[in-house]
Amino acid sequence: MEPVKVGLLGLGTVGGGTANVLSRNAEEISRRAGRDIIITHASARDISKPRLCDTSQMKLTENPLDVVSDPDVEIIVELIGGDTLSKELVLKAIANKKHVVTANKALIAKYGNEIFSAAQKNGVMVAFEAAVAGGIPIIKALREGLAGNTIDWLAGIINGTGNFILTEMEQKQRDFADVLAEAQRLGYAEADPTFDVEGIDAAHKLTILASIAFGIPLQFDKVYCEGISKICREDVEYASELGYTIKHLGVSRRTDNGIELRVHPTLISRERLIANVNGVMNAVLVHGDAVGPTLYYGAGAGSDPTASAVVADIIDVVRVLTTDSENRVPHLAFQPSKIQDMPILAIDDIETAYYCRLTVDDRAGVLAEITRIFAEFDISIVSMVQKELHNSQDEKCSIVLITHKTIENKMNSAISQIQSLECVDGEIVKIRLEELDG
């Protein structure tokens, strides 16, 4: 049987890793797929640039449309990133009846509904395991391994840069700006780190996970997104003293009123396994009604880990090249006609617990004023500690408290009233807290 011919768009870190894994594991991959798989065509911005993979058997071009339009290529692997040219190329490949594998989370999160519809009409597959959490097979787990479950909720550390920063802040008592600069030096963060530290990258990935988990359309524009750039070393230290760690989580939960879809810093009890995922590693915790909590952990980025997911998708496509398109695993786990447009909850309507830190006058009666306002909004306090302020000439102190679960708009209203008290100095810090238990 003739080898399956693959066209690679992008020969950077992931593209080179994909070529290397396909070459290094060629025999094993052929045994799994039932056919040999070879990269015959590839595009790059500069084909004269030295590569980390062997390109001697590839037909190279600087125009990716040449690869997409070549009749010999059966599978297009899109690894150029972005969501403009990549969208054009993917839709062109689909129109040319070619299957597509992509690691592009922004493309899928923003345009996946359109792309999957086109793929269904043309009878081709679009595989995207590498778009979320690098080498962790979380999409396959949600779409296939947990197919017998109703998914209750999921929560993930799905951006390695943010996790590295928070880990360093906690373990080495460092400030955000200092650790960010190191992350940039190490290549974990871009020169413009906005996508990572402000949660946009995680929001792309959460959009995809929630769609597969709950059978809803991809809705990136409805994700609540809050970054970690305002997290202070003091809050990391106080959280640790209270038995918690701060992680940048993507959280999606099914409720009676709709689906929660949110990315933000979150306190997690140290007793949870996911709280001990450190450095650049990723992890996703999924709770199904039958299986209970399941945790998926591994490298969320990098050449070989991401290539592992890309090659797995290529193998999946090869396995079903002759399969009737109606009998394939649906792109978003649910049959296209059964996707439900369930409401996405506004952040004001979600229910969770909270960590709060206030700087206040160190005098009698202050705690009474604060607790009175919380009581007016029916917000119960689990624990409260007072911390002395170092290097302060004023008679001020910090009050750190943990609340029971409450509705966000109640919490915001209470904080607004407390903020207006004369005894309160500076902005009140609020960080959401998740128990993530069964």
Q: Which residues have a catalytic role annotated?
A: 205
Closest CA to 133 of 30, 262, 286: 286
Closest CA to 266 of 285, 298, 294, 244: 244
Q: How many residues does the chain have?
A: 438
Which residues are CB-neighbours of 221 under 8 A, at least 6 positions away? Answer: none
* Cross-strand bridge partners of residue 102: 78
143 in helix, strand or coil?
Answer: helix
What angle (nearest 5°) sits at the alpha carbon of residue 159, between those of residues 247 and 314?
A: 140
Q: CA-CA-CA-CA torsion for 78, 81, 86, 89, nearest 10 degrees?
A: -20
- For residue 80, count CB atoms less than 10 angstroms from its CB and return exposed for 0-12, middle for 13-18, buried for 19 or more: buried
| Full strand arrangement of the beta sheet holding 4-9 | 59-61, 37-43, 4-9, 75-78, 99-102, 126-127
Distance, CA of 263 to CA of 156 (rounded, Å): 9
First vs last Cα of the chain: how many Å apart?
Answer: 49
Closest CA to 8 of 54, 31, 33: 54
Q: Which one-letter DSSP state was computed for residue 54?
A: -
